Amino acid sequence: MQTFNKLRQLDAYPKVNEDFYSRTLSGGVITIVSSIFMAILFITELSLFLSSRTTNQLVVDTARGETLTINLNITFPSLACSVVSLDAVDISGEQHRDVRHNIFKRRLDPSGKVIEAPKADTINSPKIGKPLQRHGGRLAENETYCGSCFGAEMSDDQCCNSCEEVREAYRLKGWAVTDPEIIDQCKREGFLQKIKEEDGEGCNVYGHLEVNKVAGNFHFAPGNSFQQLNMFFFDFLEFQVDSFNVSHKINELSFGAHFPGLMNPLDGVVNIQESAHGMYQYFIKVVPTLYTDIRGHKIVTNQFSVTEHFVRGGSGSRYIPGVFFIYDLSPIKVKFVEERVSFLHFLTNVCAIVGGVFTVSGIIDSFIYHGHRAIKKKVELGKLS
């Protein structure tokens, strides 16, 4: 019995007889509001406990010599598809000019709607007239066609049987095609006619690009590029226009697969060119990323940050019109690991919610109760006097 009395002395929660309770209307309202608020916080905490959270860490990236996948979807409202060219270059010296593998183009009308492809492409239509042979004469009956490369032959037996083959031979020589109308293949295929037919149209370029996992750049520019003295030039003269409007909307640009929570900073970016000439540059820092979900599945991908820059060009400017993406890779890799919250952590948060809401509501109730009593007493003293 004496032991029980000693235990009673340790009670930190002394009880008050119910006869001394004083229940108020404000206390009832505060109790209901605090209970609702407590229930909302509890449900929120429970949902966080049942879901997962992501932790991250930084490590040195040692994975080199791999390829980098660039997913892109960019709309040019003022450049026709026959004008837009995609090129890629990296610091290892590898060059991809006028990339077409896994890259697709959709013609757009001035309102931005997709133009359905004609049943027969102009360039692939039947040839008009007999082709000009490499030796200078017209193609005779029972003679094998071997078109001229117009001085760009790499060997004596090289043939250029299409406009594209002639243009490619010129690019390999580092020459520009300044007048396609003097090239028999381009004239017969209606190359310039197709460009004129697409005048005023836009173009949506989408697909994915495989590049080496080293610093480099890829760019969209009007015309086709060629190299001369280790510098890139573009054969603009074949389009015969005063300026190129490289306004664009980046619908999507990512470096690898998507993972939960990934935000690509360039998605949805729109840049409208207001000057006659200009070059847009995006300087991108690619950060290798490894995401591991709650089931242990891993996604090897990349994040990136970006800085934009616009160069206003003009007559005689050394800048060429286009949209350039210059990327570099970070030596640091980010690892995201998805994991569940422990039950003890959940229990601690629940106790904090209950105790915190109960304490705050008690303080508010006490303030209202004593404030009301003080005002009431002053009113009564005023009446007595």
Alpha helices (H) along the chain = 2-9, 25-50, 163-173, 184-188, 191-197, 343-384
Residue 299 CA neighbour count, 13 Å, CB half: 19
Q: Which of 144, 123, 126, 122 minimizes the C-alpha distance to 135? A: 144
Asked if 34 and 175 count as a contact pair (C-beta separation under 8 A), the reply is no
What pLDDT is recorded for position 184?
84
Asked if 72 and 267 count as a contact pair (C-beta separation under 8 A), the reply is no
Q: How far apart are CA 127 and CA 130, in angstroms?
A: 8
What pLDDT is recorded for position 186?
83
Q: How far apart are CA 296 and CA 300, in angstroms?
A: 13
Q: How far apart are CA 355 and CA 375, in angstroms?
A: 30
Q: What are phi and psi of 383, to 5 degrees?
A: -70, -40
Please write the tens of the pLDDT for every residue from 59-108: 666 665 578 999 999 999 988 888 888 989 999 888 888 888 899 999 99
Q: How far apart are CA 126 and CA 120, in angstroms?
A: 10
Instruction: Give the contacts of 360 (CB within 8 A, at least 6 positions apart).
Output: 34
- Beta strand extents in the chain (DSSP E only): 53-60, 67-76, 84-90, 95-96, 103-108, 202-212, 216-222, 225-228, 231-234, 248-254, 269-271, 278-292, 298-312, 322-329, 332-339
What pLDDT is recorded for position 117?
65
Cα-Cα-Cα-Cα torsion 161, 164, 165, 171, nearest 10 degrees, comes to 150
Measured from the Cβ of residue 359, the count of other Cβ atoms closer than 10 Å reads 10
Q: What is the pTM of this model?
A: 0.67
Angle, helix 25-50 to helix 343-384, in steps of 10 degrees: 170
- The per-residue pLDDT string of the chain (385 residues; one tens digit each, 9 = 90 and over) reads 677 677 767 666 666 666 666 777 888 888 888 889 889 998 888 887 776 666 666 666 666 557 899 999 999 998 888 888 898 999 988 888 888 889 999 999 988 899 876 544 444 444 556 777 776 777 777 778 888 888 888 888 889 988 878 887 887 777 767 777 788 888 887 777 777 777 788 999 999 999 999 999 999 988 655 444 444 444 544 444 456 788 999 999 999 999 888 899 999 999 999 877 788 999 999 999 999 888 888 999 999 999 999 988 655 556 678 899 999 999 888 988 887 777 787 888 889 988 888 888 888 888 887 887 788 787 777 654 5
Fill in the amino acid letter for 92: S
What pLDDT is recorded for position 289?
92
Structure tokens at 98: 């006028």
Instruction: Give the contacts of 37 (CB within 8 A, at least 6 positions apart).
Output: 357
194: three-class secondary structure by DSSP: helix
What pLDDT is recorded for position 329?
93
